[in-house]
C-alpha cells in the first residue's frame, strides 16, 4: 500500500475550492493511552477537522510548549512505541478516510531507520510527515524514501526565515508548508498575526504548495482570523488542553469534538 500524499493534496484542493482554509488538528499518539489517543483523533475528525497530525512523543520536545510536553510525558510513561504511532495512524485513517500525518523530531526516525519508518507509515495509510527539526540540506535520504512510498514531506518555516531560505525549503517540501508563528506570546496579538500573515505572503511567493499556519490558535475567532490569509489553520495545544482539563476520558473526547466543531465554523468564516 502506498502512502496517501494524493489524499492530502486532494483534501487541501477541496477546501480551497470551497473558499475556506483547512482545519488541521494535532494530537499526540499514546495520550492519554494508545486507545484513548485513537479515539481523540477520531473525535477531532468527527467534529470537523479535515486533517490530523499525530505527534510522535519525544523525551525532549524542544519546539513544544508545556501543554504538549505534559501529554508527551504521559504517553512516554505509558510506554508508547513507534509501532503504537503506526497503529494510531492506521486506525484513525481507516475509521475516517481522512489524511493522517505524523509530526516527529528527526532523532526517533534516524534510530528506527528511514526506510523502515517510511515503509511502515505508507503501509498504515499515512499521508506524510512533518519534520520540524530536519534541515532541508540534510533531508535527501528521507525525501528519497518518502517519494518512493507516496508520502508528503512537510517542512517548517518561521518568520525569521529569509526569502532565499524560504525558496529552498518550499522547493524541497510537499503536501503543505507549515508556517510557524506565535500569538499572544511574543508582542501583541495583532503584531504577531501580522507577522504570520507576512510569512504566508513571503512563502507563497516561492511556491504553489498550500501554506498552513500553526499560531497558538485556540478558538473560532482566532481560527477565522488566520483562515483569512492561510490555506490551513493548525491547532494542537488547545485540543490537548481540553483532554488534560477534562474530569474523565469521555468528557475529554466530547471537549475535543466540540472544539473541532467550533474551529470548523471559524475556518468557514462563521465564527
Catalytic residue IDs: 53, 64
CA distance 210 to 225: 17
Residue pair 183/216 in contact (Cβ under 8 Å)? The answer is yes
**Cα separations (Å) of 56 from 26, 112, 177, 190, 218?**
11, 13, 19, 32, 21
CA angle, residues 195, 28, 108, in degrees to nearest 5: 95
CA distance 214 to 232: 9
Edge-to-edge order in the sheet of strand 100-103: 152-154, 128-130, 100-103, 51-55, 22-28, 232-235, 211-214, 177-180, 156-157
CA distance 8 to 11: 5
3 state SS of 174? coil
How far from each other are the two terminal CA atoms of the chain, in whole angstroms?
39
| The residue to which cell 507549515 is assigned | 178
Q: Which helix (H) or strand (E) holds 106?
A: helix 106-112
CA distance 271 to 269: 6
Query: Kind of pairing, strands 232-235 and 22-28?
Result: parallel
Amino acid at each position: 500500500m502506498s502512502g496517501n500524499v494524493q489524499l492530502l493534496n486532494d483534501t487541501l484542493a477541496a477546501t480551497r475550492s470551497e473558499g475556506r482554509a483547512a482545519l488541521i488538528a494535532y494530537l499526540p499518539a499514546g495520550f492519554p493511552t494508545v486507545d484513548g489517543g485513537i479515539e481523540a483523533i477520531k473525535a477531532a475528525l468527527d467534529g470537523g477537522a479535515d486533517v490530523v497530525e499525530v505527534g510522535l512523543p519525544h523525551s525532549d520536545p524542544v519546539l513544544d510548549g508545556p501543554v504538549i510536553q505534559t501529554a508527551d510525558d504521559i504517553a512516554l510513561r505509558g510506554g508508547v512505541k513507534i509501532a503504537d504511532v503506526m497503529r494510531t495512524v492506521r486506525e484513525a485513517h481507516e475509521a475516517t478516510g481522512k489524511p493522517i500525518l505524523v509530526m516527529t523530531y528527526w532523532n526517533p526516525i534516524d534510530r528506527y531507520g528511514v526506510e523502515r519508518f517510511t515503509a511502515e507509515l505508507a503501509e498504515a495509510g499515512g499521508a506524510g510527515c512533518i519534520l520540524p527539526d530536519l534541515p532541508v540540506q540534510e533531508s535527501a535520504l528521507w525525501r528519497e524514501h518518502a517519494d518512493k512510498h507516496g508520502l508528503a514531506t512537510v517542512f517548517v518555516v518561521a518568520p525569521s526565515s529569509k526569502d532565499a531560505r524560504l525558496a529552498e525549503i518550499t522547493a524541497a517540501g510537499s503536501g503543505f508548508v507549515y508556517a510557524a508563528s506565535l500569538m499572544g506570546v511574543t508582542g501583541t496579538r495583532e503584531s504577531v498575526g501580522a507577522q504570520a500573515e507576512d510569512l504566508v505572503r513571503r512563502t507563497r511567493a516561492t511556491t504553489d504548495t498550500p501554506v498552513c499556519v500553526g499560531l497558538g490558535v485556540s478558538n473560532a475567532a482566532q481560527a477565522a482570523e488566520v483562515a483569512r490569509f492561510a490555506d490551513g489553520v493548525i491547532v494542537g495545544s488547545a485540543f490537548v488542553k481540553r483532554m488534560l482539563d477534562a474530569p474523565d476520558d469521555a468528557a475529554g473526547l466530547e471537549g475535543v469534538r466540540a472544539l473541532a466543531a467550533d474551529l470548523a465554523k471559524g475556518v468557514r468564516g462563521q465564527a
